[in-house]
Copies of this chain bind each other. A is one copy, B any other.
Amino acid sequence: MHQERAYVIWIPVSWLWVVSVAVAQPGGVATLSEVSKECIKCHKDTNPGIYQQWGESRHYRANVGCYECHRAEPGEPDAFEHFDWQIAIIVSPNDCARCHPRETAEYAASHHSKGARILGSLDNRLAEVVEGNAGFVTEGFPQGNSAAAVNGCWQCHGSVVKVLDEGELDPATWPNTGIGRINPDGSEGSCSACHARHAFSAAQARHPDNCGKCHMGPDHPQKEIYYESKHGIAFLAFKDKLHMDRAKWVVGEDYHLAPTCATCHMSATKDQPVTHDVGMRISWNNRPIISVRPEVSDAKLGLLGKDVPWQKRRDNMQNVCLTCHGNQWVEGFYVQYDALIELYHEKFAKPGKILMKLARPLLKPASFSNKLDFIWFELWHHEGRRARHGASMMGPDYTHWHGTYEVAKNFYAELVPELEELIEKGKAGTDPARVEAAAALEAKLHEILESENHRWYLGKMTSAEAKRRKEAAEQFKARYKH
C-alpha cells in the first residue's frame, strides 16, 4: 500500500426526498392499543405462529400491534369490516411509511420497487404464451392468467393485486410477496419480501439466503456465487459472530469476519449510512444482452438514480471493500472484473446480437418457435449473465464453468451450426428475399469467424498468436522440470 488514496465521501442521494417526509421514526407507543388486544384474543389461538413471531419482534416492545399495521381507512380499496374494525390484509409500503418514512422513500426510488413493471412486457411472453396459457380463471380474471406466471414470475417480481368484494383478494394475485408488488393503494413493493412474516427481522434480511429467494438459479445465481466466494465461505464459518441482530450494524465496527449481501449493497460502513436503494453501489447493470451502466437503466425507469453516475457508485462500493482489503486489492479486482465484461461483450454479445438480427428473416416468425431462439436467449440471459455475475462477486466456477465455458460452447457448438443450417436452407430456397437474407447472414458470419477473436475456430491463427501460445506452452513445460 505505497500509494495514498483520496477518501470517498458518500453523498446521500436520498436527501432529495427525505426532506419531504416526516423527520423522525417514532420509537413506538406507550401501551398496546385496545384494538390489538382484541385481535390477539382470537388469533393467539387460531394462528399462534403469527402471535409468537410478533412476540419476537421489535414491534412487540414498541407496542406496535396487529391493528397499528393492518388498520384501514374506510374507502381504502382493500378495506373490509372485521367485527367492529376496518382492516386490510395487505400492509403496503404506504402503511409502513407511517413509522419508517426514510426506508420506504429509499425503497420507492430503487429498482427493487419497480419489479412488477415487467408484467405484460415482451419478456413475459415466455411465461404467458410459450410456457403458459390463459387457463387460470379466477373471479377477478374471467379471461384467465397463466399459472406459470402466477407461480413463477409474479412470486419474485410481484403481482398487481386485485381486490374482490369486501376486501377479499383475488387468489391469482394473493398470496404474493414479490419485491415490486403493485398494491391496492397504488404503492409499489412489499416490505415483507425481505422482512418476512411477523418477526420483521432485520437480522433475517441481512442473511444472504433472504436475497436468494430471487437472486438464484440459472439466470442470476447470485446466491450460489456468493456461497462459492470467500465472502460466503467466511459467512458460513463465522455467522454466529456477526451480531446480525444488532440495530447498529456497521462493518468493521459491529462485525468484521464476513460480509453478507446486505453489507456490500445496503448496510452501513463507517462512512456510509444504510440505504434501501440497492443500486447505489453497483457499477454495471449486467441484466441486458450488453451490460449498461446503472444510471442508464435508472433513467429508463424514471428513477432519481439517473443522475448518479457509475463512478460514484463504484466509489461507494470501494469504500465498503476497503474495510477489509487494501487499495491495490480493491483496484486490481475491478480491473479484472471490467476485463471479463469486455471479453464477453466483444467476443460473444455484440457479434451474437448482430448475427441474430440477420438471422431473424430466416426464422419462423413466432418468437421462441425456433430452437435458435432458445440458444441465443440462454447464451446471454443465462450463461452470459452467470459469467458477468460470477466475475462481479468472485465465484470462479460461475465465471468459468457455468459462465464463459457455456457461452463459448453454445456459441460454437450450437449457435454457429444452427446459423450455418439456416444459411444453407435459405440459399437453397426460391424466395429471393430469403436468399438475400441468407447471403447477408453468411457474409457476416464469415467476417466474424475470420476475425481475431474467432479464427482459431477455423484452424487459423496469426504467427503472433502462435508464438505467444508456444511461449506459454514452453513456460508451462519448464514448470514441470524438477
Contact = CB atoms under 8 A, between A and B. Distances in A.
A162 to B, nearest CB: 12
A479 interface: yes
Max chain B Cβ within 10 angstroms of own Cβ: one of A151, A155, A465, A480: A151
Contacts of A401: 152, 217-219
A343 interface: yes
B458 A366 contact: yes
Given A177-B230, A210-B237, A369-B457, A332 B48 contact: no
Nearest to A166: B2
B400 A148 contact: yes
Given A131-B407, A167-B2, A143 B468 contact: yes
B459 A196 contact: no
Interface in A375-404: 387, 390-391, 394, 396-404
Interface stretch (A9-17, A18-26, A249-257, A354-362): A249-257
A172 B174 CA distance: 50
Contacts of A400: 127, 131, 148, 151-153
A482 B120 contact: no
The A interface is mostly helix, strand or loop, or mixed, namely helix
A463 interface: no
A233 B404 contact: no
Nearest to A244: B237
B366 A456 contact: yes
Contacts of A479: 116-117, 120, 182
A175 B329 contact: yes
A324 B44 CA distance: 10
A331 interface: yes
Contacts of A396: 151-156, 213-214
List the 6 shortest-distance A-B pairs measured between CB atoms, nearest first: A152-B400, A120-B476, A49-B324, A48-B252, A155-B396, A52-B256
Given A2-B168, A127-B405, A203-B237, 19 more contacts: A2-B82, A49-B256, A52-B256, A53-B256, A89-B328, A119-B476, A120-B472, A133-B346, A147-B391, A151-B337, A151-B399, A152-B399, A155-B394, A175-B333, A177-B230, A197-B230, A217-B398, A368-B412, A369-B457
